[in-house]
Structure 1
């Protein structure tokens, strides 16, 4: 194995400045030709021996100047642990493994858990300083604990309002300011009463959820009223069976064809934080509604593409699984069968006789499982009750 000779050292720094740095970090800074980092981080080391330049905003603008320093000794200062909601992975994806080394410091999550006595592996940890609060939505259930990194004091107030709006006004909050340094301060309140006006940066919020707001289930088949829709939605029991047949796995990509409200793709994304999904929808109103549903449920990573199949599918990243909820035809199935790689899982639902006939032919030719789903709800019949049947659904699932 070739000896590593890194030109970039990523140094995690806390609010205690040089006192909290490791010997390796001190040595890297002493040898540096150039140091960069947020202005706040540079200010923690006032006696730097090398030239120092603040990292620009937006963050991406600093990548090219950094890479232009290849061959010199460069130190990049970052908050705490560079690879836990930090800048480390953003930078190192542009480098080979032998070009960099990292010396992490305790993260804000570690310090917050240590101050509060929380079991960190049982605590939700989220970086929301540049992400929507809705990413917290799936975790909001009574007694859940979370530590959330936020941008500033205004973001703390906004987070409290979000909890109130979700029905969790009684949630306990701990506002954790400048942890690990001389300015450290921790104050406790609740979401409904949070009104601190002098919050120091950097800041995190620890919260213990309390209140009667609705909580997302961890099982497939969310209630239909979690989604805005115009009736074009895979209903809850059928959606649960559909997700079971699609069988989402970490890191996999779904194509949701004829997405409607986006409910299937959204539940695919809720199954695991590493899943990905592309939703295809021809109707512009439904396209926008699917995006809004995804954002509201904290899976803003859903990409919704407007257009008609199969043309809109051309050039898209190839999926691990495909769901056809609309636009089913022989032509579409033929295109998928000749385009998608062996091993792709395909699930198609049909409600009309014509679509049933299509699935019956393809099941006869290609195998897989053909399932007829018949559901009925109890409904009033005069003073008594009876069964009100839904249209039956035929579902074909197959591995290509």
Structure 2
């Protein structure tokens, strides 16, 4: 029943004492405007930075030259980071009303100086004002999105990681550094034979000096590049645009990835000469392939281990002495949508020109197995996994792993699969036992 609204007298309710709740400030940026250190992103097309009332301005020489700096402010040209942090600490402690401004390229929170400053002085001491990231500008210049790109920094880091990501991922942006500039990236990709196009972006945002150069890996390797920061886009000619939008930045290494230790029929192989899924699962667990790694598959056969490592994000090289099987490796990589460098040759000689792996798998057998394991183990950064069927060769393989400085271990893997029998019943069908041996390099 709908009742008419009643005019009720106001009720005086007693006040309730509620405990105070400490709520975070909504506009934390306004609070940090009073922080003693201001970090200004610059150099990607915005106006020259203004450092206001800064008493110390820190930055690269090109950033200091472009900024509007008060005449009385001290200047510190940024070189090695540790002395600069120490100088900033002294200035904040000793100067009267100190205000420090730090100039950095693009977004200083993206592989930039913000991490080191926050660790040293605390996040609350920083007022960060980013500009457009250089990677975003580079992709914008060529009309591609970058939410499906792998972004890797080689500045002050091991350059091998950047090179491996370029080999493994169809769309990579590299913030260059010593040992991983356009020439080195081009040389590594040219040697791999993998299809890639490079776009070298220089001086992004500078109306007079900005350059974007599109070229092949061999051309990039043959050029002399200016000694300045670059962004290098490394693109697969046919897979630089993901087929569908994703929900996470970057993308799963293989489209449609749905697990690992795939069944035998997921690969073209010869007369069941393929590492069985049960064995492959343990091999992959011991190799630990990941984005940024390089993995060798020596005696690759069908290339199943190399393909699976590539599907998990690693750069992979399959070494196979049979021309027919080498062709199978290429076909299997193509079928699974990954890039695998295939080397047709006999190990250990075929390994000499390859870059050192993080981890390596050695399959097959034969009298040359200990020599192949030795050559592989001496160069593996992290470890080697070996599979073999013959008990007689186990001691020699363990000795080869140990002699190369690895700590050997292993198991005998025996598996039985469910198999149907007439009458709607099931039996266990035993597979041949396989020794899985591995050697791990001791952690320093």
TM-score range, shorter chain: 0.5 to 0.7
SS in 2 for 1:36: strand
TM-score of the two chains, using structure 1 as the length reference: 0.54
Look at both structures and tell me which one has the larger radius of gyration over its CA atoms: 2
What is the aligned partner in structure 1 of residue 57 from structure 2?
A: 35
Of the structure 1 ranges 92-101 and 39-48, higher mean CA displacement relative to structure 2 is found in 39-48
SS in 1 for 2:147: helix
SS in 2 for 1:111: helix
SS in 2 for 1:75: strand
| Residue 350 of structure 1, aligned match among 390, 411, 414 | 411
8 Å Cα contact 2:48/2:68 also seen in 1: no
Structure 2: 5+ residue stretches without partners:
1-23, 26-30, 239-252, 263-274, 291-304, 315-358, 360-373, 385-401, 418-429, 437-444
Please state if 1:132 is matched with 2:155: no
Q: Partners of 2:63 and 2:140 in 1: how far apart? A: 23
Q: CA deviation at 1:115?
A: 0.2
Q: Partners of 1:9 and 1:145 in 2: how far apart? A: 34
TM-score of the two chains, using structure 2 as the length reference: 0.49
Q: Partners of 2:199 and 2:149 in 1: how far apart? A: 14
Q: CA deviation at 1:372?
A: 5.0
SS in 1 for 2:206: coil
What is the aligned partner in structure 2 of residue 149 from structure 1?
A: 175
Q: Partners of 1:163 and 1:174 in 2: how far apart? A: 13
Q: CA deviation at 1:188?
A: 1.4
CA spacing shift, 1:240–1:198, aligned 2, 3 Å: closer
CA spacing shift, 1:373–1:111, aligned 2, 3 Å: same
What is the aligned partner in structure 1 of residue 35 from structure 2?
A: 6
Cα offsets for 1:320-377 (capped at 9, x unmatched): xxxxx965xxxxxxxxxxxxxxxxxxxxx732xxxxxxxxxxxxxxxxxxx95359xx
Structure 1: 5+ residue stretches without partners:
223-234, 251-263, 274-278, 295-307, 309-324, 328-348, 352-370, 376-386, 394-400
| Residue 203 of structure 2, aligned match among 178, 184, 190 | 178
Q: Partners of 1:75 and 1:53 in 2: how far apart? A: 10
Q: CA deviation at 1:157?
A: 1.0
Cα offsets for 1:197-243 (capped at 9, x unmatched): 354622111121259xxxx8776569xxxxxxxxxxxx774565348
What is the aligned partner in structure 2 of residue 241 from structure 1?
A: 281
8 Å Cα contact 2:55/2:100 also seen in 1: yes
CA spacing shift, 1:75–1:326, aligned 2, 3 Å: same
SS in 2 for 1:129: coil
What is the aligned partner in structure 2 of residue 389 from structure 1?
A: 432
SS in 1 for 2:218: coil
Give the aligned CA root-mean-square deviation in angstroms. Answer: 4.5
What is the aligned partner in structure 1 of residue 104 from structure 2?
A: 78
Q: Partners of 2:382 and 2:75 in 1: how far apart? A: 43
Q: Partners of 2:104 and 2:377 in 1: how far apart? A: 39
8 Å Cα contact 2:261/2:277 also seen in 1: yes
What is the aligned partner in structure 1 of residue 8 from structure 2?
A: none
Q: How many residues align?
A: 264
Please state if 1:44 is matched with 2:66: yes
Q: CA deviation at 1:153?
A: 10
Cα offsets for 1:273-325 (capped at 9, x unmatched): 9xxxxx9xxxx99985441669xxxxxxxxxxxxx9xxxxxxxxxxxxxxxx9
Q: Partners of 1:152 and 1:285 in 2: how far apart? A: 29
CA spacing shift, 1:240–1:102, aligned 2, 3 Å: farther
CA spacing shift, 1:286–1:172, aligned 2, 3 Å: closer
What is the aligned partner in structure 2 of residue 384 from structure 1?
A: none
